[in-house]
Amino acid sequence: MKNNIFIAIEGIDGSGKSTQAKNIAKRLEADGHKVYLTFEPTDMRIGKMIRSILSGKENADEKVIAALFAADRLDHLLHETNGILKKLAEGYTVITDRYYFSSYAYHGAHVDMDWVIDSNRMAAEILKPHVNIFVDVSPEVAMKRINTNRDSVEIYETLDNLKAVQSQYLRAFEKLKNEEHIVAVNGDDSPEKVTESLWEVLQKENLI
């Protein structure tokens, strides 16, 4: 049996983190791990509410959105059949496409970041990732990828927002560098090269 760990993949929209989460899941499976790939916002009840707000179908105050994400995250952790804790207990290595650093970065521009961190404290106490991987790309590269590849663009997806989110990520990493394990990989390269760097990180840090 291989050790099972919890990996969070972070990055701005269009950074390629979903692609990397899938690639790393495949690599880990080929290496003999049982893998559970998951994401936030979830596709459960609170996640659905969030997606309806992000698509512009419904309106909500930024504070409400931040609180919904914190609640969705607890559901993600604690859900009795599909929750992350349950999957870890069953021996899966869990990879999540976004976790609480997404909240710090996306809501930190609209709501006091310390409040966002506080409102996620319970999730952090329940389960911190063994590693938070930041797929680091320039906002211009990310914007180009979004515009080339998507037929619908969400409310956060403008170049100014991508820049703001990128700088909030850096602010959050600086704030929490003593409490969290954070590793950045260069996301500007080809998907294969980024996966290779990510794999090297996991090996070098003895996580797999």
Q: Which residue is nearest to ligand TYD (CB)?
A: 106
Q: Is 183 helix (H, G, I), strand (E, B) or coil?
A: strand
Give the residue, chosen from 4, 6, 8, 14, that forms a contact with ligand ADP under the rule CB under 6 A.
14
Q: How far is CA 25 from CA 10, 33, 94, 190, in A?
A: 15, 9, 9, 18
Q: Which stretch binds ligand TYD (CB under 6 A): 85-93, 97-105, 137-145, 174-182?
A: 97-105
Asked if 138 interacts with ligand TYD (CB under 6 A), we say no
Which option in ligand TYD, ligand ADP, none does residue 106 bind, with CB closer than 5 to 8 A by kind? Answer: ligand TYD
Which option in ligand ADP, ligand TYD, none does residue 186 bind, with CB closer than 5 to 8 A by kind? Answer: none
Give the residue, chosen from 23, 93, 103, 132, that forms a contact with ligand TYD under the rule CB under 6 A.
103
Residues 6+ apart with CB under 8 A from 45: 75
What distance in Å separates the CA atoms of residue 68 and residue 40, rounded to the nearest whole number? 11
The closest of 72, 92, 82 to 29, measured between CA atoms, is 92
Q: How far is CA 183 from CA 26, 53, 58, in A?
A: 20, 31, 35
Asked if 102 interacts with ligand TYD (CB under 6 A), we say yes
User: Which residues make up the interface to ligand ADP (CB under 6 A)?
Assistant: 11, 13-19, 145, 149, 190-191, 194
